[in-house]
A and B are shown apart, each in its own frame.
Chain A
């Protein structure tokens, strides 16, 4: 199982607009939300290293922006790349869905929508997954819950 060494070069070729860095574990590609679907499709259908397995899809609340993170693995070469996209508008965060490319994303996107309130455009069934409809988005940093004391001092 040899690792493809020039993954960063590959990423740079696929997404010339994006910013490619070698993270501490995997190559990371940061792109704007508008290009996400296009790049994701290219990565999935890439000839040499098809990234066909969506390991993880999640989001991070950086207080100033949301970052949606996609961990992609190629089942052919077992290479992993990280795809990131920043959503600066926290109140109307919106990004194109990738559930058409990786059906696994359908539910991870629903989870992200539930916990962060990030909307996924063209998602065919975007409903809340865990919480009530009128509950806040608990993984946001500004979320306050007065009933369940999770913020005990430590």
Chain B
């Protein structure tokens, strides 16, 4: 192993002053338990304990048909529900060799980007709150509400949509879909400078995040840290670029890369991704073909041919991989989700060691953890 990569080995001591952060703690965003060893205010080591919300989704998938699995994937990373749905849908479509209509691809991409912005909204809100700036929470959620209204109009639900399905979409999007997206982009472009004024430029915020929790590129690769957290370290891991799916190879966008790998860079990646997603949305609305077709022809019962299938998608938090072993029946024989948060979270120990307890909160906020995705 190269020297740049730090290891995760923990040396325990009987005299350790252990604090249990969680399972119910305001800054762990869910039922994550962090066993934090303190030396005064300084963190000696962090041991994450997970499994409080383990629902056995992989096991449940073995008893569900491929169409039914969609609603389970919603509940893994509930903030990027569309991307999760699309992962399974793409896998089934690729395995069966189904070509979905062009329009569906555009709609899916639009939904992905909307969902990414909504997810980053919530992250921004919660990150500010982790650092003690309570007002950010309301500004972020206020703007996220606009996206949820678009979702609500088209799918009837705001968080868990189950809208993307193998072969296309559940039904057509609302006729106002394009108009609403453009309205939102216009609205949010006006509000984004406010985010910068309130938090990004703030001297306290910068002092709290710059140089905190530095993750080198090598560490990011070695620990499999993907998504905005990995790109903050310069690890080019955007699946939309390296293994394009859907319509992404025909759209122009930049992969946001920062190189310092501290909390501030991870923050900036997400802030820039919101801008990038808005650019994508404008392109998509511009190019989206007219029409009403929303699904390819599919048999009512989906059976994958025997074999193994693998699909990578980029969620708001990183790379989601779906791995299916099929035995030719209508249920998968084995279904595996490689969730981005799972790998991201286990860097908490190597990032948080030697820093203050307040920094640990800043780091876990900047990694943007969603606990149900870790436990699955």
Contact = CB atoms under 8 A, between A and B. Distances in A.
B92 to A, nearest CB: 14
Given A52-B222, A125-B10, A107 B343 contact: yes
A131 B222 contact: no
Contacts of B60: 150
A23 B308 CA distance: 8
A58 B376 CA distance: 14
Interface stretch (B50-58, B128-136, B153-161, B204-212): B50-58
A111 B310 CA distance: 19
A78 B235 CA distance: 12
B51 A138 contact: no
A100 B222 CA distance: 10
Nearest to B54: A130
A115 to B, nearest CB: 8
Nearest to B9: A124
B42 interface: no
Interface string A102-113: 111011100100
Interface in A48-99: 52-56, 58, 60-61, 69, 71, 75, 78, 82
Interface residues of A, number: 40
- Give the interface centre of A24, A60, A69, A103 by most chain B CB atoms within 10 Å: A103
A25 B324 CA distance: 12
A33 interface: no
Interface in B321-376: 321, 323, 325, 331, 333-334, 336, 338, 342-343, 346, 375
* Interface residues on chain B, size class: 35 or more
Question: Secondary structure of the A side of the interface?
Answer: loop
B222 A71 contact: no
A107 B354 CA distance: 22
A139 interface: yes
Contact of B222 (A25, A103, A111, A139): A103
B197 to A, nearest CB: 36
A12 interface: no
Interface of A: 1, 23-26, 52-56, 58, 60-61, 69, 71, 75, 78, 82, 100-104, 106-108, 111, 115, 124-125, 129-131, 138-139, 148, 150-152, 154
Given A71-B338, A154-B64, 12 more contacts: A23-B308, A55-B321, A55-B338, A58-B338, A61-B334, A69-B323, A71-B321, A75-B221, A75-B235, A78-B242, A125-B10, A130-B375
21 contacts: A24-B307, A24-B309, A25-B309, A53-B237, A55-B312, A55-B321, A56-B338, A71-B321, A71-B338, A102-B222, A103-B5, A103-B7, A103-B223, A107-B343, A129-B51, A130-B54, A130-B375, A138-B56, A139-B58, A150-B59, A154-B63
Which 7 A-B pairs have CB atoms at the shortest separation, nearest pair first? Answer: A104-B224, A130-B51, A130-B54, A56-B338, A58-B336, A78-B242, A60-B334
